[in-house]
Structures are given as structure tokens and as C-alpha cells.
Amino acid sequence: MQQLDCRGLACPQPVIRCREAVAAGAESLRVQVDNVAARENVLRYLGNNGFACVCDEKDGVFLIQGERSGAPAPAPQVEAAAPDGDARALVLITTPTLGRGDDALGQRLMENFLGTLPEMRRLWRVVLLNGGVRLSATPGPALDALKKLAENGVSILVCGACLAHYGLTDAKEVGETSNMLDIVTSLDLADKVIRP
């Protein structure tokens, strides 16, 4: 069983170390991480790559043991741009408000923006970073709009390190806790990135 001590490593290093071990042929891994976001990201990565995992926690350290149980899950299919020129769009949100000046106005503008996003053709993914992660955990119209997007099949990625920084890991109500590797890959795969 290959041992990976990923305690103290910043996002997305624990996932990258797991990816390297899997690429080198590891059939079983024992991974130590020291934060909830890393635990979720490692478990998701290993699960998506054919590993059955168990996780135990002791004194703030998570011990993840994974054994290859089958073939990796097929990679998500990324559809090509539509022939009429439409592009698969990713929306990158880094603040809980839209624009600068008056925060109360910015909050209402963000609520309206998120509520109007279903009108966007080929909306593929919304990524929440930094203060934008608050939108996934704060009850109100913005959270309701994000939930509606998720129900309609739009992927919502929420930065796990950012959730931890703001103390919102357990408060997140929508989206998939993610890491910088997933976010960078999503930016690369998107046909266009919109940053309000």
C-alpha cells in the first residue's frame, strides 16, 4: 500500500499527489490529509478512478485508504461547440456582490444576475472562488438561484480551500466542493469564460 502524507499541503496538491501515484500504477493508497476540503477532493478523485475508499478521522487528521475496485469511471464527455457557433460557457464568480460601489446594490445585482443565468445558452458550469463561495452558503435569492441552476444540470464548483478560509465548509448548500486543479481544468475546457 503506497503511503501519501499530504498533511499541510495546499489545494490542489493532495489530489495531484494522488493522481501521480495512480498514474504510476498504484493499486492501493493510504492518504493522510488535515482538512475537510482535501478529504472530499481526494475521496472524489479516487472514487472517480475506480478506488473503493474508507476514511477515518483522528485528532483532525483524515486517513483515507483506497483499494482499486474496478475500472476508472469514464471521463465526463465534453461536448464540442455547437455548429452554429454557440460556445460552452463557464461563469467565474469571485465575490458575493456584482460591481463596486454600494454593497447592498451589488448584492441585489448578483441575485438578479444569478436569477437570469438560465437564459444563457450553453451555460455549462459556474465556479465560485474567494468571497464568491459565500453565495453557496448564505440563504436567500442568490442561493435559490444557484440551486435552480444545479437542478437544471449546470455544474457548480465551489472552492474547498475558500470555504474553509471563510468557515463555511459545513454551511455549503449547493455545488460540489472542488479544488484548484478541477477549476483550472474547467477553465481550460470552457469555450468561453464570463467573469461578472
Predicted local distance difference test score (pLDDT) of residue 82: 40
Total number of residues shown for the chain: 196
Same domain? 108 vs 190: yes
Which residue from 140, 147, 132 is spatially nearest to 97, judged by alpha carbons? 132
pTM of the model: 0.73
Mean pLDDT of 131-155: 95
Same domain? 31 vs 100: no
User: Per-residue pLDDT for 177 more than 60?
Assistant: yes
Q: How far is CA 190 from CA 51, 79, 87, 106, 124, in A?
A: 28, 10, 8, 26, 8
Amino acid at 67: E
User: Per-residue pLDDT for 187 more than 70?
Assistant: yes
Domain membership of residue 62 (yes or no) is yes
Domain membership of residue 35 (yes or no) is yes
User: Per-residue pLDDT for 152 more than 80?
Assistant: yes
Same domain? 104 vs 188: yes
Domain membership of residue 75 (yes or no) is no
* 56: CATH: 3.30.110.40
Highest mean pLDDT among 20-24, 37-41, 66-70: 20-24
Predicted local distance difference test score (pLDDT) of residue 78: 41
User: Per-residue pLDDT for 84 more than 60?
Assistant: no
User: Per-residue pLDDT for 172 more than 90?
Assistant: yes
Domain membership of residue 11 (yes or no) is yes
Same domain? 121 vs 154: yes
- Cα separation, 29 vs 53, in Å, equals 9
* Number of domains forming the structure of the chain: 2
Same domain? 146 vs 58: no
* 161: CATH: 3.40.1260.10
Domain that includes residue 64, residue range: 2-68
pLDDT > 90 fraction of the chain, expressed in percent and rounded: 71
Same domain? 101 vs 182: yes
Task: Identify the helix (H) or strand (E) that includes residue 126.
Answer: strand 123-128
Domain membership of residue 76 (yes or no) is no
Q: What is the pLDDT of residues 92-125, one digit of tens each?
A: 999 999 998 999 999 999 999 999 998 888 899 9
Q: What is the pLDDT of residues 57-82, one digit of tens each?
A: 999 999 999 999 866 555 444 444 44
Beta-ladder partners of 63? 32, 56
Q: What is the pLDDT of residues 128-137, one digit of tens each?
A: 999 999 999 9
DSSP codes joined into one string, 35-93: SHHHHHHHHHHHHHTTEEEEEEEETTEEEEEEEE-SSPPPPPP-PPPPTTS---EEEEE
